Amino acid sequence: MISETMYTLGSKRSCIRDLFEYGLQQAAIVGKENVYDYSLGNPSIPAPAEVNGAIAAILQDTDSLAVHGYTPAGGAMSARQALADDLNRRFGTAIRPQNLFLTCGAAPALISVIRALAVEGAEIMGIAPYFPEYVPFVESNGARFVEVPADTDSFQIRLDELEKRITPHTQAVIVNSPNNPSGVVYTRETLERLAEILTRKGAEMGHPIYLIADEPYRELVYGGAEVPFIPTIYPNTVVCYSYSKSLSLPGERIGYVCVPDDAADSEALYAAVAGAARSLGHVCAPSLMQLVVARCASVRPDLEAYDRNRTVLYEALTSYGYQCAKPTGAFYMFVKAPGGSAAAFSDKAKEKNLLVVPGGDFGCPEFFRLSTCVAPDMIQRSLPVFRELIGQF
């Protein structure tokens, strides 16, 4: 008398979590320094000092009932105003506080948008490689997940394959750039071509096809790469954002949905997002953290450590003969598995206590993911293992 679906979701652990826990067990046996764990995308740099500074200041200068009390469901207006101001300053937009709905991180933000669009028969597209949770997010919330196969050379988008999969039921396409797991940033050209297709096919289908821009890594880019703000390219874009990575606050669960005025049926869609959030048990985003991100809206992370890891790993691995699109964002690398099967490579690596995530769940079974938010000395210790492994395939 217990829901099979929910039981399966709760008891079938993700491959990433399994690897991570295996790493902890092995560390207890062989020593922490002999396990090379690239499994988790958990920020390894602490929150900027401004975060704890803001917490301390808020506890001093703000009444306890205002700090810890209920806010409106969409968030405190003062917080939304601060976040809208920051977006407008950076992207030349005209976002109003009323376009923002603060959430407990990106996951419920995405699900609220999915539920808002989950009409009878709805299809929502994801582009490989994609964050594996998109599948349960879509499929447990009333829509069908449609996968667009990966462009495994550049990890941009195979637009021809995407276009072929658009049907009268296509409600939205999820894009995630900078991308988890590839670390690639979709170029302005890619996004403009995508916008052209969605505009044309939307007209043909007689209804808008929304872009859901899942952007927790927006601020994590290297070498001056441009991350276009997608609503300025395609108006029917709904942005889902999280401060998990940019302010190293993944446990605090604070993010937002932005439904810009220019998106089709903007007001109705915002209301449906709010209703969907309500149906998920959303009351408000954590109130202290609303005030913190408002005060830290313009704080940018210090990415030097991630950038150094990226460079060291990319250069070493490609010098050994591994193939990999150079990541320009996020904190991941997506490497072609020698021998062609990432599952086999991951198993072999695991024997040497090197933990890499096979790409099957990301829609790319021939690639493995490395999280580069790790300790630099672990990278150095792991390099001989990478070198040895490629010789065995």
- State which of positions 232-261 bind a second copy (CB under 8 A): 248-253
Instruction: Answer whether 324's CB lies under 8 Å from 129's CB.
Output: no
> Tokens 């994590």 correspond to what residue?
220
At closest approach, how far in Å is the CB of 190 from a second copy?
25
| Strands, sheet with 170-175, edge to edge from the N-terminal-most edge strand | 100-103, 255-258, 237-242, 210-214, 170-175, 123-127, 144-148
Q: Which of 28, 32, 69, 393 binds a second copy (CB under 8 A)?
A: 69
Task: Please tell me whether residue 229 binds a second copy under the rule CB under 8 A.
Answer: no
Number of residues that bind a second copy (CB under 8 A): 82
Phi, psi values for residue 298, rounded to 5°: -100, 5
Q: Which of 87, 100, 117, 125 binds a second copy (CB under 8 A)?
A: 117
Between 67 and 195, CB nearer to a second copy: 67
Instruction: Answer whether 276's CB lies under 8 Å from 65's CB.
Output: no
Between 51 and 150, CB nearer to a second copy: 51
Range 137-176, binding a second copy (CB under 8 A): 137, 140-142, 171
Phi, psi values for residue 355, rounded to 5°: -105, 110
Range 258-287, binding a second copy (CB under 8 A): 265, 268-287
Start-to-end Cα distance in the chain: 48
What crossing angle do the helices spanning 304-320 and 376-391 adopt, rounded to 10°?
A: 20
Between 97 and 286, CB nearer to a second copy: 286
Between 168 and 223, CB nearer to a second copy: 168
Between 118 and 185, CB nearer to a second copy: 118
Task: Please tell me whether residue 51 binds a second copy under the rule CB under 8 A.
Answer: yes
Structure tokens at 89: 């300053």
Between 198 and 349, CB nearer to a second copy: 198
Which sign, positive or negative, has the C-alpha torsion 70, 73, 75, 76?
A: negative
**Stretch binding a second copy (CB under 8 A), from 56-64, 92-100, 188-196, 319-327:** 56-64
DSSP reduced 3-state for 87: helix
Instruction: Answer whether 74's CB lies under 8 Å from 101's CB.
Output: yes
Cα 103 from Cα 120, distance rounded (Å): 25
Between 51 and 324, CB nearer to a second copy: 51
Strand 210-214 versus strand 255-258 pairing type: unpaired
At closest approach, how far in Å is the CB of 148 from a second copy?
20
Strand 237-242 versus strand 255-258 pairing type: antiparallel
Range 320-359, binding a second copy (CB under 8 A): none
Task: Please tell me whether residue 182 binds a second copy under the rule CB under 8 A.
Answer: no
Cα 201 from Cα 123, distance rounded (Å): 14
Between 227 and 297, CB nearer to a second copy: 297
Between 227 and 254, CB nearer to a second copy: 254
Range 84-113, binding a second copy (CB under 8 A): 104-105, 107-112
The most distant pair of C-alpha atoms in the chain lies apart, rounded to whole Å, by 63
Phi, psi values for residue 42, rounded to 5°: -105, 115
Binding track, positions 188-227, relative to a second copy; x by CB under 8 A:
-------------------xx-------------------
Instruction: Answer whether 129's CB lies under 8 Å from 334's CB.
Output: yes
At closest approach, how far in Å is the CB of 91 from a second copy?
25
What crossing angle do the helices spanning 342-351 and 376-391 adopt, rounded to 10°?
A: 110
**Stretch binding a second copy (CB under 8 A), from 54-62, 189-197, 223-231, 362-370:** 54-62
DSSP reduced 3-state for 333: strand
At closest approach, how far in Å is the CB of 151 from a second copy?
28
**Stretch binding a second copy (CB under 8 A), from 68-76, 177-185, 214-222, 307-315:** 68-76
Between 117 and 379, CB nearer to a second copy: 117
∠ at Cα 288 (286, 294), nearest 5°?
A: 100
Task: Please tell me whether residue 5 binds a second copy under the rule CB under 8 A.
Answer: yes
Cα 177 from Cα 188, distance rounded (Å): 11
At closest approach, how far in Å is the CB of 386 from a second copy?
26
Task: Please tell me whether residue 375 binds a second copy under the rule CB under 8 A.
Answer: no
Between 69 and 223, CB nearer to a second copy: 69
